[in-house]
């Protein structure tokens, strides 16, 4: 039950005075004042810390971790506009040379996405598809599963492939037991140690890169963003935008 409406501040002060007495039965006091032990502990802790007013505090956070300061956003967008091919990781390295409070790569990616600076390589909706190719290795990898291959006896194999967009070299070719995010993450850790990190990964909207439940990010995509790797999703029902990987599968 909540505090009684009449003289709420007085009741809080009265409860504190009684609860602080030697031998006080605080559980009985909670029942008497109609509050839970959790609420009682909160007010006692605030009183002990020096807050003798005990006024209600706003539950609004001082700042939202999901939103960036306007100045930081402006700096990120300025670097991106000057270097349109740069991903979040390179932008962070540039900002670190200019300011002490450079944001994380995942924050930079969120800023670019929010301001429409990240466009799937397949082009914009309604426009004829045009091929594309990055100018150097490790700027973009295309990654996907090549279906489910039945095994002799029972079970299935899930071939996982990742192709470098510039060289068309298969940096990853792994027979997986499933298509779960932790399985893909384990394969990528081995691949990253061998070939380094790409600037971006181009993937489809299915699991484990996309979330059928409507969430913006999966655990796997958040892990990639924290490494400074942009995650770019292809347009739904447009496999031609990931043509290099599709041709490799054939």
Read off the pLDDT of residues 189-199 as tens digits, 9 standing for 90 and up. Answer: 999 999 999 99
Same domain assignment for residues 205 and 170? yes
Identify the domain containing residue 79 by its residue range.
70-114
Do 197 and 57 contact (CB within 8 A), yes or no?
Answer: no
Do 18 and 29 contact (CB within 8 A), yes or no?
Answer: yes
Same domain assignment for residues 145 and 245? yes
Determine, yes or no, domain membership for 204: yes
User: Residue 152: is its pLDDT beyond 60?
Assistant: yes
Same domain assignment for residues 213 and 181? yes
Backbone angles phi, psi at 106, to 5 degrees: -65, -35
Same domain assignment for residues 245 and 154? yes
Residue 160: which CATH number? 3.30.420.10
Same domain assignment for residues 35 and 95? no
Same domain assignment for residues 162 and 197? yes
> pLDDT tier at 96 (50, 70, 90 boundaries)?
confident
Q: Decide which of 68 and 208 is more confident.
A: 208
Sign of the Cα torsion 16, 20, 26, 31 reads negative
Do 246 and 240 contact (CB within 8 A), yes or no?
Answer: yes
Same domain assignment for residues 243 and 148? yes
User: Residue 178: is its pLDDT beyond 60?
Assistant: yes
pLDDT at 233: 81
User: Residue 176: is its pLDDT beyond 80?
Assistant: yes
Q: How many CB atoms lie within 10 A of CB 138?
A: 17
> pLDDT tier at 54 (50, 70, 90 boundaries)?
low
The DSSP secondary-structure symbol of 32 reads H
Rounded to whole angstroms, the Cα distance separating 51 from 45 reads 9
End-to-end CA distance of the chain: 66
Determine, yes or no, domain membership for 122: no
Same domain assignment for residues 158 and 237? yes
Same domain assignment for residues 148 and 241? yes
pLDDT (average), residues 99-108: 80
Nearest CA-CA partner of 140 in 38, 217, 229: 229
Q: Work out how many domains the chain is built from and give that number.
A: 3
Measure Cα distances from 198 to 146, 188, 212, 221 in Å. Answer: 21, 11, 26, 14
Same domain assignment for residues 29 and 78? no
């Amino acid at each position: 039950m909540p505090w009684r409406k009449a003289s709420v501040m007085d009741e809080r002060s009265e409860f504190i005075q009684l609860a602080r007495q030697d031998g006080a039965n605080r559980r009985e006091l909670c029942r008497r004042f109609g509050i839970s032990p959790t609420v009682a502990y909160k007010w006692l802790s605030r009183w002990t810390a020096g807050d003798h007013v005990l006024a209600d505090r706003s539950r609004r956070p001082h700042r939202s971790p999901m939103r960036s300061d306007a100045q930081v956003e402006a700096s990120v967008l300025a670097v991106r506009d000057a270097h349109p091919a740069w991903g979040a990781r390179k932008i962070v390295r540039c900002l670190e040379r200019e300011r002490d409070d450079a944001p994380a790569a995942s924050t930079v990616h969120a800023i670019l996405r929010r301001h429409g600076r990240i466009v799937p390589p397949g082009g914009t909706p309604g426009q004829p598809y045009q091929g594309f190719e990055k100018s150097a290795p490790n700027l973009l990898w295309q990654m996907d599963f090549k279906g489910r291959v039945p095994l002799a006896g029972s079970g299935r194999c899930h071939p996982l492939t990742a192709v470098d967009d510039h060289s068309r070299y298969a940096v990853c070719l792994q027979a997986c037991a499933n298509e779960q995010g932790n399985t893909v993450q384990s394969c990528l850790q081995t691949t990253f140690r061998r070939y380094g990190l790409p600037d971006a990964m181009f993937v489809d909207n299915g699991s484990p890169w996309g979330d059928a439940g409507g969430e913006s990010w999966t655990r796997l995509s958040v892990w990639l963003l924290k490494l400074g790797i942009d995650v770019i999703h292809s347009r739904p029902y447009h496999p031609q935008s990931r043509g290099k990987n599709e041709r490799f599968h054939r």
